[in-house]
Every structure is written in structure tokens, then in C-alpha cells.
């Protein structure tokens, strides 16, 4: 049995409460008795991320600008969602359709991961979508300008090692998802 103990929250207050960013400041007591009065936690919505594969065994990627690091990235279709409003599966199907114009009949769960559990509250729900088909155009949010790219499955690992695919959630979904792909 583990002797590890949870940290105790003595006091907690929201120091930034904006639709785009929420930050909570906790005063905590560590198991050793030490008190830290300014431990900041970022309240983030859950994320859904889809590994979509066509019947031609191509993976659908989206390429878009990411302002936090001021660069363009090739990644898998993904988006935030509220689990009280829709299931991770429904959010995955919606994000795939909105960002790429492709649809899947169903999603297969790959894993649920934590982004940065030391400071962030959200989970990343990873799904596989096989035999996706193009059904229309994109339906993008105001902050999205997305280029859709199709990459053969056998080129993906090289693109990861060369740094062309470098977003952690996408890399995790790809590496884990390769075990789920039919006839891989």
C-alpha cells in the first residue's frame, strides 16, 4: 500500500476567469506540513482528438497556426468540449467533420490521457476513426484557418522523428493508435 498523500487545499480562489482562460490560485498544505500559498492551476476544458484513416490507408491531418508558439503545426483533428453537453465520441465526430469535411461511422477509443496534470485540469480523449469518407467542406470556428493534409500511414513515423509532427497529443494518438489500426 502506498504511503503517498494528497495535497490539502486550505484556500482556493479564481484569479482569472475569462472565457479563453481560467486560472485558480490555491493555498495548499503539503504532506510534509509545508504550506504553499500561490500554487496556480489552469482550468482547461477536456479535449477530443481523432486519428482518422481513409480506405486508402492515409491519415488525415490538419495544418494550422498555433499562436502560443507562433508557428504552424501538422496535427490530428481535435477540439475542446464540455462533457456535460456532449460525449467524447460525439465531440470527436463533430470535430472531425467540422475541421476536415470527413465523417466516420464510429470511433474506437484509444486512450484517455492527462495533458499536464501538475498544473492543468483537462483530459485528452483519443479515438481512432477508420474508413472515413469525405462528405463536404469544412465548418470552421472564427479562430480556425485549417489546411487538410492526407499522409500515407507508412510515412508518419518518419515525420514524427523528423519533427514535422510535433504536437504531443497527436504524437501520442499516432503511436498508440498504430496498435489499433486494422491490418497494420
> What grid cell was written down for 85?
453537453
35-60 b/e (C-beta count within 10 Å ≥ 16 → b): eeeebebeebebbbbbbbbbeeebbb
The DSSP result for 8-39, as a single string, is EEEEEEEEEEETTEEEEEEEEE-TTS-EEEEE
pTM listed for this prediction: 0.91
Helix (H) or strand (E) holding 42: strand 35-43
In what side-by-side order are the strands of the sheet with 21-29? 8-18, 21-29, 35-43
Q: What does the pLDDT read at residue 36?
A: 96
In the numeric block, which cell numbers belong to residue 135?
462528405
- Cα gap 99→117, rounded to integer Å: 27
- Give me 172's grid cell: 501520442
Q: Which residues of the chain have pLDDT under 70?
A: 182-184
Rounded to 5 degrees, φ, ψ at 157 are -60, -40
Q: What is the pLDDT of residue 157?
A: 94
Report pLDDT for 184: 45
At 182 the pLDDT is 55
Residue-level pLDDT at 166: 97
For residues 78 and 177, give the distance between their C-alpha atoms in angstroms, rounded to a whole number.
Answer: 15
Tell me, rounded to whole angstroms, the distance of Cα 60 from its chain centroid: 15
How far is residue 73's CA from residue 68's CA, in Å, rounded to a whole number?
Answer: 12
Would you give the DSSP letter of residue 178?
T
Amino acid at each position: 500500500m502506498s504511503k503517498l498523500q494528497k495535497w490539502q487545499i486550505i484556500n482556493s480562489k479564481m484569479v482569472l476567469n475569462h472565457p479563453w482562460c481560467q486560472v485558480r490560485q490555491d493555498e495548499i498544505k503539503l504532506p510534509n506540513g509545508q504550506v504553499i500559498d500561490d500554487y496556480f492551476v489552469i482550468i482547461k476544458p477536456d479535449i477530443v482528438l481523432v486519428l482518422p484513416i481513409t480506405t486508402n490507408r492515409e491519415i488525415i491531418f490538419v495544418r494550422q497556426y498555433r499562436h502560443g508558439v507562433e508557428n504552424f503545426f501538422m496535427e490530428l483533428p481535435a477540439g475542446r468540449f464540455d462533457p456535460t453537453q456532449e460525449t467524447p465520441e460525439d465531440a470527436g465526430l463533430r470535430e472531425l467533420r467540422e475541421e476536415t469535411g470527413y465523417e466516420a461511422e464510429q470511433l474506437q477509443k484509444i486512450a484517455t490521457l492527462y495533458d499536464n496534470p501538475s498544473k492543468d485540469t483537462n483530459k485528452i480523449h483519443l479515438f481512432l476513426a477508420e474508413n472515413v469518407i469525405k462528405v463536404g467542406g469544412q465548418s470552421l470556428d472564427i479562430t480556425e484557418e485549417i489546411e487538410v493534409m492526407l499522409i500515407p500511414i507508412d510515412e508518419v513515423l518518419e515525420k514524427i522523428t523528423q519533427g514535422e509532427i510535433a504536437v504531443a497529443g497527436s504524437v501520442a494518438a499516432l503511436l498508440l493508435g498504430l496498435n489499433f489500426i486494422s491490418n497494420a
